[in-house]
Structure 1
Amino acid sequence: MHRLFHNATVHAMNPATGWTPQGRWHSHEMPHPNTILTSEDRIVAVGDYRELRDLAPLGTERTDLGGTYVLPGMGDGHIHSAMYSRSLIEPDMRHCTTLDEAMAVLRPFVEQARADPTVTWIFGGQWNINAWTTPERPDRRVLDSVAPDIPVALSSLDLHTLWLNSRALQELGLDRTVKDPDGGEFERDEHGELTGVLKEAAAIPIRDGLMQSDVSGSIDSYLPLGQRELLKRGITSIHDIDGVDCLNAYRKLHERGDLDIRVHKILRQEQIQDFIQRGIRTHSGDEWISMGPLKLFADGALGSHTCHMSQAWPGTHDHGMAVMEPEELEHWIRTAASAGIAAAVHAIGDQAATEALDAIARSQSMARAFGLRHRIEHAQYLKPGDVPRLRELGVTASMQPMHCTTDIPLNGFLEDRDLVAYGWNTLREADVETVFGSDAPVEDPNPFHGIHAAITRTRDGLPVGGWQPHETVPRADAVRCYTHAVARASYEENLKGCLAPGMLADFVSVDRDVFAEDAEAVRDTVVEATVVGAQIRYQRED
C-alpha cells in the first residue's frame, strides 16, 4: 500500500534533502518539501507534491495534512511507561503544597477501594516534599488516619522514596527488626519504630515487586491508556525503564496488533541472568520491540539528597548515598558487557558519574568488541574533567530537560562548586552523544515541554533569561535529541530519527513551526496527528 501525505511543511532533519543543522532550508534546486510518499511502513521519497504525485503508483492513498508542520517521530529516551500509565488512574500529589492537600487527594481513592473489593492496595503518589510549604513530613500515622484498613504505598515524585501506611508494613512483614540494605534506609523514629518511609535500595525492590504482583491490577488494562497519551504527545518510540511485566505486556499488545509505539526495553538487574542465559543481547529484537541496556543504580536522587556528591551537602557531612559500591558496579557492567549487553547507569551526583565512568572504562575492550553504547542516566552533575571522558569512552548522556527547570529551586547549593549542571551545551560542544527523555511519570512526557526547557531553561518564564543560560542549546539540537539521538541510542539511526527514503515512516504533524515560533510558544505545540509505520495512530479531534 502506497500513501501520499501532503500539504505540510516537512522538516525532514536529513541534510541530504536540504535541511541544515540550523533548521533552515537552503536548497536553490528544489522547493521546501511538502509531501511524504510511503510504501508499506517505509518512506519512499520526501519532496514536492507535484513530483511525488506523478511518481506514486495508481491506487495510492492520499492524506491531506492540512497545512501543518511535520517532524520525525518524537522519542522518549527515559520513561517508566507502566508507572506512567498507572499514574493516569492513581492519586497524583505532585501539585500538593501541604500534607493536608496530599491527604485530600488520597481520600476519594480510599473510599473507592472500600466500595470495590477487587482493589486490595492503593498506589500512586508523586508527592514532592520539596514543594510543601509546611514543615510536616511523611509518616505512616498520617496515612493511617485516612486509610487504616487498606494498604497504601505512595512513591515520591522522583520514584526513589516509598511512603507506606501501617497496614502496608504489616502486609509486607516489615517491623523494627528489619535491617537497612546496602544503599538504602528504612527510616525510623526516635524509638526505633519504622516511620513508613523507605529510601533507595530499601524502597525500589519493594516498589517494583508490588508493581509486578497481582495486587497492582492488570498491566494489560492500563498500558494502552499510557500508549494513547504518548501518541497524543507525538511520541513514536520509547526507551522503557520498567520491569519484565511491562515487556510482556508490550509483547501481548504486539501479538494482538495493538502496539502503536516502538519500544526499546531497558533491562532490570533482577532479570539479567535469565536474559544472559537465553542469549539476549542489547539491540536484539525487531523494529517494534528491541532489547536495551542493563539498568544499574550508582546513587539516589536530588530531592532526597541521596545523589552521591563529591562534596558534602551544605552544613552536613553527608555526601549522599552510593546505592552500589564501585566494585559491585564494575562487576555488573563487566558481566553484562561480556554477554553483549550495554549498561545504563543511573548517576545524578558528580561522584556517582565519576564512579560509573571508572567502571565502564575497566571493561571498555568488551564494549568495543560488541559495539556497545553505554549510557549514564540523568548525568545532572558532572565534574568538568568527566565531560571529555564521556566522549572518549563513547558513553551517551541520557538527560531530561524538564528535571532542570523543576529543580531550579533546589540548586542553590551549586553556587560555590565547580560542576557542570544539566550541561547540555557543554556536552554538545564536547561532541558527547546526548539523548533527551522525560522520566515520566516524574515529568510530563510531552517532548515539546522538554524542547522548551532545553532552549530556555525557564519554567513559567522564570528566571528571566534562563537558569545558567550558557547551557541552553539551539532548537535544532534540542529536536535532534528527541529524534535522531533517541534512535541512535537504541542502535536504530539507520531506521528512524529523520525522514528519508528507506527509513521507517514515523512522523508527527504539529500546528506550528517549532524552528520559527517564539521560544515560549514552542511549549504549547499541539500535535495534530501521529504516524507510525505510515499508519495514523493518533489524530486530534476538533
Structure 2
Amino acid sequence: MGTIWYGGFVRPLTDKEAAANAVFTENGTIIAVGEEKKIRELHKDKIEKEVDLNGHTMYPGFTDSHLHMIGHGEKLLKLDVSEITSLKDLKKILKEKAAATPAGEWVMAEGFNENLYENHTVPDREFLDTVTSEHPVMLTRVCRHAMVTNSKGLSLAGITKAASDPDGGRIERFSNGEPTGYLHDQAQEFLKKVLPPIDKSYVKRALEVSLEDLYRSGFTGGHTEDLFYYNEPQETLDVFNEVISGSKKFRANLLVHHEAADTVLTQKHTNPFVEPGSVKIFLDGALGGRTALLSEPYNDDPSTKGVAIHSQEELSAIVSAARKFDMPVAIHTIGDAALERAVTALEAHPVPDGKRDRLIHLQVTRPELRARLQKLPVVLDIQPRFVASDFPWVVERLGKERLRDCFAWKTLLKEGLMCAGGSDAPIEPIHPLLGIHAAVTRRKPEEAHEGYQPEEKLSLFEALQLFTAGSAKAVSREHDLGLIAPGYKADFTILEKDLFALAPDEWLNVKVTKTVVDETVMYELK
C-alpha cells in the first residue's frame, strides 16, 4: 500500500522539460510519475494515503554534497560573526560576549572575514587584547582554515616567539618575530589542545539543531565530514546513529577523515541512513588566508605559494591505505598545485570498481589538469556560493590572468566532468537556493551586475542538478537517488513555487513547504 502525491507540479529533473502532476510511492520507493488521473486508475487498489501538494512544486530531494553537519549546528549555537562588516562592530559584539562570560573562561566566536573589514585587516592579538584581558579568545576565520587568539590564548597554548611552524601550518608573526595570534591550518592544533573539552551531549545537541535546520532548508541528505573533531571518532559516529534513527530520516553520507579511517571503516554499519562514504584528505588550505597551494606565488604576496598539508609521497600513501579498505577518497584541493598532487595520486592508485573519488572545492585549475581529470572516475565537488563570497577580493589573490581558470563551473561541465553541489556549511550559508542563485547569477543577491565571470554561469537546470543528480553521482547512487523516476527513492523537496517560472532574485523568497525522506514528511511549513 502506498501514497499518491498530487495537486501540484512535479519537476522530475530527468531532463529540463520533464514535468508531471502526480507521483505514486510505495515502501519508500517511487513507483509511478505522470498524470494524476492515469496514476489513480493504475494504482487505485494500492493507494492508502493521499498528500495534496496544494499547488506547490516537487523536486528531487536536495542533497548537500559537502558540509559539516555538526559544525553547522555549532554555528547555530555559538556566536556567529560571519555577517559583521567592520572591526568596530566586531569589537562591540565580542565585548558584549566577554561581559556575559565568567572571567577566565573562553570567549569563542565563528566566522570572521577580514575581507569585509576596512583595509582587510585581520583582528590579531593586539585587537583582541583590547576586547578582553580576562578571557582567552578564540575567533575562527570563515574558512575554518585559520583562527586568531589574544595574548591570554597564546600563553595558554604555549605559543611564543621561539615556537616553530608545524608541518602543514603557519604561525603569523610581527616584524620582531612575536606571534600575532593568527594561526593557519595545522598551527591551529596548538590552540585546540587547550580549548575546553567538548562532551558528547554538546555534540549531540549540535547535530540535532543542524538536522532540524537542514530539514527546514529542504535537504533530504548531505555528505558530511565531522568524525575527527569531537573527542573520539567512534563517539561522534555513535551520535550520528543516535540522532538519525527511528522517525528521524536523513541520508547522511559520512566523509571519514583519514586519521579516523581505522576506527570507522573496520566495523559493521547497519543504519541505512548513516553510511561511510569516502576517506577525507586535506591537501591544502584556503585562498582567503593564502594557504591554498598554488603553482605560482600569490599575486598580492609573492613571498608565498600557500601551504602543503601533505607531500606527494604522503598523499599517495594515504590514498593507497584507503584502497585497502576498498574505499574512494575525497580530497580537499583548492589551489592548482594541490590539484596536480591529487590527480597524480589518483592516477597511481585507481579507485575500486563501481566507485568514484571526489575532489572538493577545486577553485583553481589548469587546462592540462582538467584534461587528466576527464580520464578519471571522479566527481568535482564544487560550492557555487564561493563565487558570491570570494569575489572581488579573490582577484587580488590570484591576478586577472590566472582567474580565467578559476571558479570555472560552466567550463567543468562543458568538458564533460561530473560535478556535485554543496555549501561547505558552516563556511557558507546552508540554504540551497542561495547556492543555486550563485551558480546561475555569479553574484551576491543584493548586487545588480551581470555576474563575476558571466561566461561561467550555469542554467537553472544545471544548478539544480548539482544538488540532486550530481550529489547522487558523488556517492555512485545515480541509479536510485537524485531524480523523480520509477525505482528511485521517495525523497522530495517541495517548494511553494516553481523556480523555472521566476526570476533568479525571486528564488530567495521561495519557501520550502515540505521535506520528504523515504516517503516520510520530515518537515512541513506551518
TM-aligned CA distance change 1:342 to 1:299, over 3 Å:
same
CA distance in 1, matches of 2:400, 2:92: 37
Structure 1 window deviating more from structure 2 (132-141 vs 42-51): it is 132-141
Task: Say if 2:396 is the partner of 1:408.
Answer: no
Determine the C-alpha separation between the residues in 2 that align with 1:289 and 1:211: 29
Q: Which residue of 67, 72, 79 corresponds with 1:79?
A: 67
Q: 1:334 to 1:205 in 2, by over 3 A?
A: farther
Structure 2: how far apart are the matches of 1:45 and 1:134? 58
Distance 1:206 1:505 in 2: 45
Cα offset, 1:498, TM superposition: 0.8
What secondary structure sits across from 2:54 in the alignment? strand
The one-letter amino acid of 1:6's match is: Y
Query: Does residue 229 in structure 1 map to residue 213 in structure 2?
Result: yes
Contact kept, 8 Å, 1:397 with 1:434, in 2: the verdict is yes
Output the CA distance in 2 between the equivalents of 1:185 and 1:317.
14
Cα distance, 1:58 vs structure 2: 6.2
- CA gap of 1:59–1:76, structure 2 versus 1, over 3 A, is closer
Paired position in structure 1 for 2:223: 239
Q: Which residue of 1 aligns with 2:89?
A: 101
> Partners in 1 of 2:126 and 2:118 — Cα distance?
20
* Post-superposition offset of 1:171: 3.8
TM-score (norm 1): 0.89
**CA distance in 1 between partners of 2:379 and 2:153 (Å):** 39
Which residue does 1:17 correspond to in 2?
Answer: none
Change (3 A) 1:264 1:206: farther
Decide which moves more: 135-144 or 441-450.
Answer: 135-144
Cα shift readout 1:161-205 (whole Å, capped 9, x = no counterpart): 011233333444444443211120122334433322210111268
Whether 1:52 aligns to 2:39 is yes
Name the SS for the 2:108 alignment partner: coil
CA gap of 1:286–1:142, structure 2 versus 1, over 3 A, is same
- Tell whether the 8 Å contact from 2:10 to 2:57 is kept in structure 1 after alignment: yes
Mapping for residues 299-448 of structure 1, pairs under 5 Å: 299-314=284-299, 316-364=302-350, 367=351, 369-412=352-395, 413-417=398-402, 419-448=404-433
Instruction: Identify which of 255, 273, 287 aligns with 1:266.
Output: 255
Deviation for aligned residue 1:274: 2.8
State the alpha-carbon separation in 2 of the partners of residues 103 and 462 from structure 1: 27
**Residues 103-118 of structure 1 aligned to structure 2 (within 5 Å):** 103-114=91-102
User: Paired residue for 2:230?
Assistant: none
Query: 2:2 — aligned with what?
Result: 2
2:497 is the alignment partner of 1:512: yes
Instruction: State the distance in 1 between where 2:8 and 2:455 align.
Output: 34
How many Å apart are 1:402 and its aligned residue?
A: 0.4
> CA, structure 1 residues 217+285, in 2 after alignment: closer, same or farther (shift >3 Å)?
closer
Residues 227 and 260 in structure 1, CA contact (< 8 A), matched pair in contact too: no
1:24 is aligned, of 14, 17, 21, to: 17
AA in 1 matched with 2:498: D
The alignment's TM-score, normalised by the length of structure 2, stands at 0.92
CA deviations over 1:37-91 (Å, ceiling 9, x no partner): 2223222222222233341436712111110011001010110111111111211
For 2:394, the aligned partner's letter is N
RMSD: 2.4
Q: Gapped runs of 5+ residues in structure 1?
A: 15-19, 26-31
Of 218, 241, 251 in structure 2, the residue corresponding to residue 251 of structure 1 is 241
**2:30 pairs with 1:43:** yes
CA contact (8 A) 1:10 1:34 kept: yes
- Quick check: 384-393 or 267-276, which moved more? 267-276
Structure 1 residue 370, shift from structure 2 partner: 4.2
* Range with greater deviation from structure 2 (411-420 or 424-433): 411-420
Give the superposition deviation at 1:210.
7.5
| Cα offsets for 1:368-389 (capped at 9, x unmatched) | x443311111001100111121
Name the SS for the 1:308 alignment partner.
coil
User: Take 1:534 and 1:384, find their aligned partners in 2: how far apart are those partners?
Assistant: 43
| SS of aligned partner of 1:60 | strand
C-alpha distance in 1 between matches for 2:270 and 2:432: 26
SS at match of 2:102: helix
CA distance in 2, matches of 1:533, 1:363: 36
- The alpha-carbon deviation at position 212 of structure 1 amounts to 9.8
CA contact (8 A) 1:125 1:155 kept: yes
Q: Give me the whole-angstrom Cα distance separating, in 2, the residues matched to 1:173 and 1:403.
A: 35
Which AA in structure 2 matches 1:237? G
Which residue, out of 9, 20, 25, partners 1:33? 20
More off after superposition, 54-63 vs 482-491: 54-63
1:242-297 per-residue CA deviation (whole Å, 9 max, x = no partner) reads 22354332111134x25332100001132123345x167xxx66530110112112
Alpha-carbon displacement from aligned partner over 1:444-496 (angstroms, at most 9, x marks no partner): 11111111111111213646222111111222111111001111212222221
In structure 2, the gaps of 5 or more residues are: 228-232
| Contact kept? 1:11, 1:70, Cα under 8 Å | yes
